Structures are given as structure tokens and as C-alpha cells.
Amino acid sequence: MPDTLDRLTAAELAAIDRWEPRVHALVDWDPAIARDRAERAGRGLLSGWSVAVKDIIDVAGLPTRCNAEFTDANPVLTHAALVDKLLACGAYVAAKSVTTTFAYLDPGPTCNPWHLDHTPGGSSSGSAAAVACGMVRLALGTQTVGSINRPASYCGVVGFKPTYGCLAVDGVFPLAPSLDTVGYFTANAVDAQQAFAALTERPPVPSPGVLRIAVVEDMLCEPADPRRHARDTKRALSFCHDWLATPTKTTARWWQRRRRNPIGNSLVDSASNIPRSCDN
């Protein structure tokens, strides 16, 4: 185990040395502290896993700045509940990761690792970019509307947003409490499944057998490039057949009619919550 840990840590340190000066995914990165945490990590289902923690989530001994200069710079005293759970599973915190300001609209310094002039997506920008660069094995993020799905897509990693309330939000700075959900990023689906089994203490989800894949034909907007959209859709459908999956056509309009208004709810929640949280 120590030899494997040394190899993993060395590879991640090399990735950070290479990419962090250009991508800016991490907050207050300190390699000596990260290595010390790795050496002191316990044993469990996630032994040796390095974790980046979005900087709206508390890590004892570090401040939670939320990408805002006027927030309290003093270290917090306790871990968020999910950080405690990760440590109990044998993982260790390598660093905190950049967030948009208060997990909302104002971007942080993080760049998209695939194209430095492009956005990595927000608000969990640093977490997605860190996983994409191989800096860490798992990174925590949060989602109120699209803050896990979007950066995962932009950075080319797996983003997992579980059911609301599935993972504890204690110790997480709230944006819109009626919608806020904690999730995470990994480099592949196998790691995402293993992390979920460890964090929820549930058995891994069995294979569904025959896959059914929804093909949304109407995304409530026009494609930016209709020719490319048609070509990519055709290519994706061919992959479905290669995987012996059954594509099922659907539309987004039923969802629009039946859903709550997440953007409206988040605006109302955050407008009342952020000033109160900052005062505290």
C-alpha cells in the first residue's frame, strides 16, 4: 500500500506541477501539507484517494473563502460532514478547489484544461479541472442548478449529482438550501460508483442489463451549428447500437411543464441567504 500511495501521490504531484500554473484549479496549494495528509490517512474503501474540496465546503484548519475577498480568512474548526465521511473511508484532502463566488455567477481564475482560453464551467470549476488534469482522484462539488453537470461536461470528466438530500450538506456554504446538492467528480464511472458505495454505505448498483438511452430531440433552443448537431446525434446513436443499447426518443417539453423553477427558486433562496450567511 505505501508503494502504491507513493506512486499515486508522485503522479498527482507531477500533474499539479505541470498544470496548476496554467489552469489555476486549486486554492492555497501546499505540497508538503498534502503529502503529510496522505501519509496520515486511514484505511477504508477509499484508501489513498486524493480529494480536492470545493471552497464552499469546510475543511478543518483551512478557511472557507467562497472566492470572495471579504469572507473570514480564519481557519474553520470542523470538517463538513461529507469531508469527515471521506476521511473515515481512507481518503485525504489534497487541497481546496476554486469555486465561482459563492457558487454563483462571478467566475474564479480557473481555465479549461483542454483550451486555456475557454471556461471550465461553473460553479464547481476548480474541482472539474483538477480531476481532468489528473491532480486528484476525486473532487467535491455542489449543484444548485447545473454546477456539477456543466463543468463535468466542459472538462471531460464524470460528474455525479445525486438525489437531493442523499449526501449531507452540513458544513457547506448554502446558496439555495431548497436545491443545494453535494456531489463529486471522478475521471471514470468506475471510480464514481465506488465513491458512492463508500459514502452511502450501499452496495454497488448492479448492471441494468439492456441499457435504455434517452435521445432528447427538443432541447428548447436551436443548436448553434445544426449540421454539426445532426452529425453528432447520428454518431451518438451509432454508439448506442454498438453498446447494444436501446435509444428512446423524448422531448424536454414535458420536463419544462412539470418541473419546479430551479433558477427562480435559487434566485429567491440566494438573495435572502447570502447576506445572512456573510453576517454570520
Q: Report pLDDT digits (tens) over 157-171.
A: 999 999 999 999 999
Question: Domain 2-200 class?
Answer: alpha beta
**250 grid coordinates:** 423524448
Distance of alpha carbon 214 from the chain centroid: 23
Cis, peptide link before residue 124, omega less than 30° from 0: no
- CATH 3.90.1300.10: which residues of the chain? 2-200
Confidence (pLDDT) at 2: 55
SS3 122: coil
Choose the catalytic residue: 50, 54, 97, 266: 54
Choose the catalytic residue: 50, 85, 97, 123: 123
- Encoded amino acid at 173, one letter: F
Confidence (pLDDT) at 1: 47
Q: Answer yes or no: 147 catalytic.
A: yes
SS3 180: coil
Confidence (pLDDT) at 9: 79
- Encoded amino acid at 189, one letter: A
Residues in the chain where the model's pLDDT stays below 50 = 1, 267, 275-276
Q: Answer yes or no: 97 catalytic.
A: no
Choose the catalytic residue: 97, 125, 127, 147: 147
Nearest-angstrom CA–CA distance, 175 and 98: 16
Residue 232 near residue 240 (C-beta atoms within 8 A): no
Query: At how many degrees (to 10) do helices 31-40 and 2-23 cross?
Result: 150
Residue 108 near residue 100 (C-beta atoms within 8 A): yes
Confidence (pTM) = 0.83
Nearest to 57 by CA among 123, 151, 137, 145: 123
Confidence (pLDDT) at 253: 66
Q: Answer yes or no: 54 catalytic.
A: yes
- Encoded amino acid at 233, one letter: T
Confidence (pLDDT) at 272: 53
Helix/strand/coil percent split, the chain, to 5: 40, 15, 45
Confidence (pLDDT) at 75: 96
